[in-house]
Amino acid sequence: MTFPSRENLVVCFGHPAYRVKAAFDQLDTGVKGFEVKTFEEFERRIADADVVVVSGFWKNHLLEKAPRLKFIQSISAGINQYDLNVLKAGGVRLASAQGVNMNAVSDHAMSLILAMSRRLPEARDNQAKKFYRPMQSDHALREDELAGKTLAIFGMGRIGGRLAKLARAFDMNVIGFRRSNLSDKGYADEVHASSQFHEFLPRADFVALTCALTDETRNIIGEAALSRFKATSYLINLARGACVDEGALVKALRNGAIKGAALDCTVEEPLPEASPLWTMPNVFITPHTGGETCSYEAGIAKLLQANLNKIWAGDDDLVNKVV
């Protein structure tokens, strides 16, 4: 299929909250576009688009309703919602937003590590109750320092690599895990194969997940993994909720098998009201906001601009190309 010229291209921006079109318009590209805020409107108007910029609104059946569609710029780094075979068969290219939120997510991961170490959720709860906590004679109830603690990072991509850099600035020891390129330690003290992850869990004071969700990483933290955690350790999940067996995690938290968990993602989002995670005192939940900053839309807009320019130039090597 021939890709439309700049003056004829129409882009649909679909997201309930993000204002990517406004950021893209500021680049003054001359490209026409429209924005939708609901799935129903997205489904109704996708037929008018040559390009869609989307994440959660995407459903694979929409391809049948989109005869003009030639390129999808995902707003998110994750691409699990896309059937790649269907896109290939339909001649639709796809690029992810991997890397756009590298700083944001790694910052968030470090903030969660600090929050758990410094007991900040408890302090906020006490503030709401107007309770001024006295000094603690019991060491188990005190805040702690990060220097000398060991952080295990499962997923040493761009986010995990930058998290290692931040952790080293706090004088932490960092053990990284990745599938390949093990000789490139980056800012980690050690890097090992992902298949060895469980072997090293007894050494970790904090375990951070910054991996993609795949068949291999689904429930990578389950009953077997949690049984190898130290009772004083914390789980930090910045990946996807399905990387953690939530039933096993709740059991481990209740039994004191681990000290706590900070979760930016859960299996079901929003987290159901009935989930015990809401009321557990050793759990800190943020609503999948790790990558959501004031700069995010501008980053997506620049990525879209770069990929459109590549397509117009006949360059098939798109930034973060998936299909």
Average pLDDT over residues 220-233: 98
Residue 65's pLDDT is 97
- H/E stretch holding 12 reads strand 10-14
Is residue 322 domain-resident?
A: no
CB atoms < 10 A from the CB of 313, how many? Answer: 8
Coil, helix or strand at residue 79: coil
Is residue 1 domain-resident?
A: no
Is residue 320 domain-resident?
A: no
- The count of domains in the chain is 2
288 is catalytic: yes
Residue 78's pLDDT is 86
User: What does pLDDT average to over the chain?
Assistant: 97
- Catalytic residue chosen out of the listed positions 143, 145, 216, 269: 269
- Catalytic residue chosen out of the listed positions 45, 93, 162, 240: 240
Tokens of 136: 């603690």
Is residue 230 domain-resident?
A: yes
Q: How far is CA 33 from the centre of its chain?
A: 27
139 is catalytic: no
Instruction: Quick: pLDDT tens for 152-200.
Output: 999 999 999 999 999 999 999 999 999 999 999 999 999 999 999 999 9
Residue 1's pLDDT is 64
Is residue 3 domain-resident?
A: no
- Catalytic residue chosen out of the listed positions 118, 168, 198, 288: 288
Domain that includes residue 44, residue range: 10-100+293-312
Residues 164 and 256 placed together within one structural domain of the fold: yes
Average pLDDT over residues 300-311: 98
Residues 87 and 113 placed together within one structural domain of the fold: no
Alpha helices in 30-101 (DSSP H): 39-45, 84-90
297 is catalytic: no
